[in-house]
Amino acid sequence: MNLTIFGSTGRTGQYIVKQALERGHQVTAHTRSPDKLDLDDNNLQIVEGDIRKADSVQDAVEGADAVISALGPTKNKPVFAISEGTEHILDAMDSHGVERLIASAGAGVGYPKDDSGLLDRVMSLLLKLFSKWIYEDMKRTVEIIRSSDVRWTVVRAPMLTDDEPKGEVKAGYVGKGVGARITRADMARFMLDQVNSDQFVQDAPAISN
């Protein structure tokens, strides 16, 4: 399968690229910093570009069977790069007839199926107070995806770690059977599993170990 991966040089994105190649997929990795992707694989194509520039996004999506986005804000500033880039991704998917999108977000971005407890609400409030612009950018991103016509899945994660993979992922909703941590490797595996699964199409599960 041909997969286009955005956020491919991020801390989670690198796991997704590596695991996708291990599964035998053809991977197109879109990144501003190709030197950060230290992989030598005949099935890997790198497209250098900025997600805020539509042309490189169009080039990366062309020929894809599915798109995976592990994009996330790196600075708490009102630049809204991720939501803007997501609009370019969806435009490119429409242009090239690509229907499947799997995207990541933080568990702090709410979803109607959540049943947030007191601690969850406090953590969400702190996120909005101290990471206001990061939260707003990702909230906008999820809203844009949910209002699109593609077959989307938004994978919402709590605290991410670089620990060894546990090999088990719990999927549910905030306040309903999920914990507070997940390894990046396990999140990558879960996101890749969604490419060929209909279980969470048009849904935004929260996951944890």
- Per-domain residue ranges of the chain: 2-208
Q: What is the pLDDT of residue 69?
A: 98
Residues near 16 by beta carbon (within 8 Å), at least 6 away in sequence? 5, 8, 68, 70, 188, 191, 192
Q: Split the chain (209 residues) into runs of 10 and give each run's mean pLDDT.
A: 97 97 98 92 97 96 98 87 97 98 94 74 58 88 98 96 96 91 98 97 97
Q: From start to end of the chain, where are the E strands?
A: 2-6, 26-31, 44-48, 66-69, 100-106, 151-157, 159-161, 170-172, 181-183, 206-208
Q: Give the whole-angstrom CA distance, residue 191 versus residue 145.
A: 16
User: Are the beta carbons of 83 and 140 closer than 8 angstroms?
Assistant: yes
Task: Name the 3-class secondary structure at 119.
Answer: helix
Q: Give the whole-angstrom CA distance, residue 104 versus residue 44.
A: 21
Q: What is the pLDDT of residue 121?
A: 59
The pTM for the full model equals 0.94
Q: Name which of 17, 1, 154 is nearest 63 in CA terms.
A: 1
Structure tokens at 122: 């406090």
Asked if CATH classification 3.40.50.720 holds for the domain at 2-208, the reply, yes or no, is yes
Q: What is the pLDDT of residue 133?
A: 82
Q: What is the pLDDT of residue 130?
A: 53
Tokens 């620990």 identify what position? 163
Q: What is the pLDDT of residue 127?
A: 60
